[in-house]
A and B are shown apart, each in its own frame.
Chain A
Amino acid sequence: QAFRVDVIREEDGVLEFDMVGIDAAIANAFRRILLAEVPTMAVEKVFVYNNTSIVQDEILAHRLGLIPIRADPRLFEYRNQGDEEGTEIDTLQFQLKIKCSRNPQAAKESSDPNELYFNHKVYSKHMTWVPLGNQTDLFPDADFRPVHDDILIALLRPGQEIDVLMHCVKGIGKDHAKFSPVATASYRLLPDITLLQPVEDEAAETLQKCFSPGVIEIQNIKGKKVARVANARLDTFSREVFRHEGLKNLVRLARVRNHYIFSVESTGILPPDVLVSEAIKILMGKCQRFLNELDSVPME
């Protein structure tokens, strides 16, 4: 198979890579798996011991569930169906215990809440990991915490407190979107722009403006300005060129059939290249499952 993968990497949680020589069905399968079937850990059960804040219990639980937790899901198992308590191989426990109080040293007539109160904003950095069972031995160097420290969970005023215990389990995006490991994963086909006739001077200038910056460049050949397609990859296909009568027939816009540009943006739980590898392994696992079934179930 004449197939290649080129990584045009732009890190920071975003991975952009090309797959050439693959078909739409398989590219789409990878995209679907990245979104919905790569497992992660997220807060599932929230045991509320005390919540005197304005945020209702269920709203607070919903917000806590959506916080991405930096924990490698491959180290954990799925929880069994009816299991209420949770053992140490499938659950991570976090605690959030915070109380807001008044600052006695604040100046009178100050109205800035940062000065007046302690702990009036509850951030995700206030969540602490509580090891269960032998987790301290299993993960001696691991530090399980939310991916981002500055996610605002709730606002408090003096006298209000929140005291909750959270259980994180492993799940997949199909079950609930909080388990999806990617901010988004998408692909597009490489654009293919061909100039049917040479375009010069004024028309070249207008042509350049019709496309996204960088797609068409103008060269000076023998004193005349001639347009040339420099980098078709940057184009967003806005079809502006078809609105101009003179240029309509000179350009053909198409897509290269099997050149896919994937863009995967991770929420920070796992780096995007690991996510893509995991997605491919999951597709293999599905095929293997059916092969095993075929072999074990007798055909009549």
Chain B
Amino acid sequence: VQADGTDGNCVTFVLHDEDHTLGNSLRYMVMKNPDVEFCGYCITHPSESKINFRIQTRGSLPAVEPFRKGLNDLMGVCQHVLNTFEVRLLPEELRGLF
């Protein structure tokens, strides 16, 4: 992970060993944040597996915050999906416990 940017509000993160799998889902999570003015990702070259992930915030919020929040939100979504999925797999009798 490497970050460089002009000032605290608009930062481009370079994420190594990542591709559309994390890029698109993370972008979706960060866009839900009303403080974010611009969020996008691109794959610099298909032969190298790294993405440029750019966040620009309105106002004075440092750009690292929506990034961190987006990651946490994505983890929360995954956890919720995992729990719902596993509960569904249990047989009928045990489902009443959840």
Contact = CB atoms under 8 A, between A and B. Distances in A.
Interface of A: 1, 3-7, 17, 19, 22-23, 25-26, 28-29, 32-33, 36-37, 273, 276-277, 280-281, 283-284, 286-288, 290-291, 293-294, 297, 299
Looking at B19, B72, B86, B88, which has the most chain A CB atoms within 10 Å of its CB? Answer: B88
B80 A3 contact: yes
Given A280-B78, A287-B78, A32 B84 contact: no
A290 B22 CA distance: 11
A294 B64 contact: yes
* Dominant secondary structure of chain B at its interface with chain A: helix
Interface in B50-98: 64, 67-68, 71-72, 74-75, 77-82, 84-86, 88-89
B21 interface: yes
B15 interface: yes
Given A283-B22, A290-B15, A294-B64, 12 more contacts: A4-B84, A7-B89, A19-B81, A29-B25, A33-B21, A277-B82, A280-B78, A280-B85, A281-B78, A287-B74, A288-B75, A294-B68
A287 B75 contact: yes
B27 A6 contact: no
B95 to A, nearest CB: 11
Interface residues of B, number: 31
A290 B23 CA distance: 12
Contact of A287 (B71, B82, B89): B71
B28 A23 contact: yes
* Dominant secondary structure of chain A at its interface with chain B: helix
Contacts of A17: 85, 88
20 contacts: A1-B80, A3-B80, A5-B84, A6-B88, A7-B88, A25-B25, A26-B77, A28-B20, A28-B21, A37-B21, A273-B89, A277-B86, A281-B78, A284-B79, A286-B22, A287-B22, A287-B74, A287-B78, A290-B15, A290-B71
B84 A25 contact: no
Nearest to A280: B82
A5 B75 contact: no
A241 to B, nearest CB: 33
Interface in B1-40: 1, 3, 15, 18-22, 24-28
A276 B22 contact: no
Contact of A25 (B1, B24, B67, B85): B24
B93 to A, nearest CB: 16
Nearest to B26: A287
B89 A29 contact: no
A284 B75 contact: yes
Contacts of B26: 287
A5 B64 contact: no
Given A284-B78, A294-B68, A32 B85 contact: no
B86 A299 contact: no
A294 B67 contact: yes
A221 to B, nearest CB: 37
Nearest to A291: B71
B84 A3 contact: yes
Nearest to A32: B21
Nearest to B81: A280
Given A1-B80, A280-B85, A28 B67 contact: no
A28 B82 contact: no
B25 A26 contact: yes
A235 B32 CA distance: 33
A28 B22 CA distance: 10
Pairs A-B, 5 closest by C-beta atoms: A25-B28, A293-B1, A29-B25, A32-B21, A25-B24
Contacts of A26: 25, 28, 77, 81
